[in-house]
Structure 1
Amino acid sequence: MFNHILLAACLAQTYASPLTPRAAVTPQVKSATYLGNVTDPALDRDSCGSVRIGTRAFWTCRDTMVYNTQSGQDQLPIIVSTAGWTDAVANTGGPAIKTTGGTVGAASNGKGPILQMYGNNVNSLKEYFPIASDNCNTNHGFCSDGTRWAIWPDSPPLITKSSPKSITAYNWIPRAHIQGLTLLNPSQAYSLYRTTYTGTSNKNTLPTATLVTTEFWKAGEIGFGDYGGVVKNGYAYLYGQNFNHNGTFIARVPTGSVETRSAYQFYNATSLTWSSTLPSINDTTAVIPNAGAGGQGTFYYSNYYKSYIWIGQAALEPVANFYISTAPAPEGPWVLPYKLFQGTNGDGFVGAYSLQANPALLPSTDASENGIYLTWTQPWSTGPYVTPLVYLAFQ
């Protein structure tokens, strides 16, 4: 259930920025408050991330299993991706934490605080992101030769269109073919998924995910959008990485043209220009210096700082050390990532992974608070995966 890419990643390289910094900000932690675990106690979930839809947070997760509260064990099959809702506090916003009396189950002892996920029927659990027909989709991505198609989202859906009643959002997800935790196709292609949602009186109704294009980015191409993205000023700005995860690239596309490859433009960090020429995955001139520390994380725009922010994990550092970088524009210049916060590790095969920032949980819709919610995955040698929720207040 662990993101295999983390183990294969190389240490993030840093580069001298070709741009003169215009308005660098460097947030520092004033206080950190543990709020509880994000969980549906009936489900053992790995690697979740959130996006704001209306007043609620919508979460997409990777491998998920039904958790038997009687035996304290997970039940097969493994579902490669699932989704769920969490509520906000009425009127004031922020996550609606159950401080006592939660259900006993995965990541919940019935006494400690939890942010309750909901919206799934455990008796008919299925993949949120549909598996392509050529990826052993009749057996949840598991193939008869012992390999597996791990269609794992690295970022939550990126909303490109919204109204009071509906949204449209997108994911670019790698078509990872694995055996154990070994990636069999390092030059993997990336599928494009569309998520749509129209408000309904049934709060358990989940958005709908549709496979738009099985190979939107072809094998050997940069998977723009997989590493994260930000929507601003009519564009979706999309980040991707090279094979070794030591270089970040950026593309942009009008929010109404996400499904049209010819509408994309790509940034060259040497000439400081956008063009329609797709860079090679080995093109060092297109690498955006310091845009992320190499590991999984989250890009977002902070209205408080008037700055783009990335928070996440360093490559080859599988512990709960959160790094941050900021920039005045999506393409930079990004400040050298620095350590922001150290969370608690699990005692499993690694300490932590899937480090995420969650602006979806902030009371405002434009991240105008001087702080951020963080989550990460703790693997434990005995027991389910745990997703702690911490609020960082900045100085």
Structure 2
Amino acid sequence: MRRSFALRLMAPLRAILLAIAFPLAFAISPRLGPTRRAVTPIVKATTSYGNLNNGDLNRDSCTSTLWSGGNVLWTCRDTQLLTNGVPGFTLVANTASWSTIPSATQPAVLTLNSPEPFGTFFYLMESDECPTSGECSDGTRWVGWPNTGPAVVYNFDGGVNAYGFMQRQHLSGLTVLNSPSTTLYHVLQTTVDTSVMPSVSVDVSQFWSADQIGYGSACTVVQGSYAYLYGATPSGQLAVARSTLTEFLGALDSKNTYEYYVNGEWTTTAPANNAAGIALENTSDVQGTIYYSNKWESFVWIGGDGFPDANFYISTAPAAEGPWTAGQLFYSGAVGNGSLPAYSAVAHPALTDGTGDYIFITWTLTLDTNPTGSGPVYQQPLVRVDWE
């Protein structure tokens, strides 16, 4: 296993950092008693901020992570270079950018800045995934498509330690050819600097095997002393695991820190992906976002209903494992004229002030305006939703 500089610090320094950090890390989290009344979110207003500005990049399905110092890290799926508005044929399975936090009161287009040249992956293909592009000689393709941003588990002296979970999908067109395992990536920036991207390396290849839930690949939430990690079940719902942040710098690569929610209880035994009692009622594995709302003292899921619409639903729960309310439709966005008109309905708590009074949402719509056959043009509208 490859270790970064921060994880190779000498033992005495490790002890000092832990002594300073963990009284704060284990501050008492909000009371999430099961008798709390269900939250019923009500939309007060919606405001368009236009489309995300990716410059000369054509980018699919971007998600965001609050980094440090008011900076936001964006991770996106398939990316192409635009020339006079037309996408090129070279395709990069995932890329990353920086942005600032937008104003909550003055709508303006949000620009995503990419300090690295086009062609640079964020999560690299592994040695058995037809590197470096993922394109195989038989016409199939390995993809690294992030559903959510990396989980930030620790901030130290201006630096950030984070982890990303990526399913290893082998595709023919859009048909999945394998039962995906899930790799754990280490994302580190010892000093936050938006002129470069964080360092990213494979921490544990196939951390979750193909017959396990890909915990962390669907949604992640760091709240209190836990990282809550969600993955898709074969039934199209979500399952959840949690890891205590007791490893050095909150590392997520030791399964000794993990518990799994099965049959209404937390257990240290990882279930198979077809085990009974792991699917959370009223959840969906369609791409979405889970975060903690201080306004409602609840966990919140926001996501869509898949192709071809841009419908946004919201569900809440008093605890990470539930019980989750049935999803309520609260917003419907524009769709494109491409073969996949709209998808990737996600929320962006990283763009807010943390009060929970409002949230930003984006989705991907496709425009079939490309005469060269190199794929659709992607647009990602950004909308602020204010709650009553």
Q: Normalising TM by the smaller chain, what interval?
A: 0.7 to 0.9
Partner of 1:61: 76
1:18-73: CA deviation from partner (whole Å, max 9, x where unpaired): x965231111211111111112221000010001112021100011011112xx31
Partner of 2:124: 130
1:116-174: CA deviation from partner (whole Å, max 9, x where unpaired): 1112343x531110110111113x00000111001111111111111350111111111
| Counterpart residue identity of residue 60, structure 1 | T
- For residues 166 and 285 of structure 2, the distance between their equivalents in structure 1, rounded to whole angstroms, comes to 17
| Counterpart residue identity of residue 59, structure 1 | W
TM-score (normalizing by structure 1): 0.83
Partner of 1:232: 223
Say which of 180, 205, 218 aligns to 2:209: 218
Alignment of 1:137-286 (within 5 A): 137-138=131-132, 140-163=133-156, 165-185=158-178, 187-200=179-192, 203-245=194-236, 247-255=237-245, 256-268=250-262, 270=263, 272-286=264-278
Change (3 A) 1:328 1:164: farther
- For residues 77 and 106 of structure 2, the distance between their equivalents in structure 1, rounded to whole angstroms, comes to 23
1:176-217: CA deviation from partner (whole Å, max 9, x where unpaired): 0001111101x21011111112335x5321112111112000
SS of equivalent to 1:305: coil
- For residues 309 and 292 of structure 2, the distance between their equivalents in structure 1, rounded to whole angstroms, comes to 25
Partner of 1:116: 111
Change (3 A) 1:53 1:311: same
Q: Can you give the 5+ residue segments of structure 1 that lack an aligned partner in the other structure?
A: 1-18, 100-113
TM-score (normalizing by structure 2): 0.84
SS of equivalent to 1:216: strand
RMSD over aligned CA atoms reads 1.9
SS of equivalent to 1:116: coil
Partner of 1:106: none
- For residues 46 and 376 of structure 1, the distance between their equivalents in structure 2, rounded to whole angstroms, comes to 9
- For residues 348 and 374 of structure 1, the distance between their equivalents in structure 2, rounded to whole angstroms, comes to 21
Say which of 328, 335, 340 aligns to 1:338: 328
Q: Can you give the 5+ residue segments of structure 2 that lack an aligned partner in the other structure?
A: 1-32, 371-376
1:394 aligns with 2:387: yes
Change (3 A) 1:164 1:391: farther
Partner of 2:12: none
Partner of 1:12: none
Is residue 218–residue 285 contact of structure 2 (8 Å, CA) maintained in 1?
Answer: no
Change (3 A) 1:164 1:348: farther
Partner of 2:366: 379
Partner of 1:310: 301
SS of equivalent to 1:137: coil
Alignment of 1:86-101 (within 5 A): 86-88=99-101, 94=104, 99=108
- For residues 106 and 183 of structure 2, the distance between their equivalents in structure 1, rounded to whole angstroms, comes to 34
Q: Say which structure, 1 or 2, has more relative contact order (CA 8 Å, 6+ apart).
A: 1
Change (3 A) 1:276 1:95: farther
Is residue 116–residue 196 contact of structure 2 (8 Å, CA) maintained in 1?
Answer: no
Partner of 2:341: 351
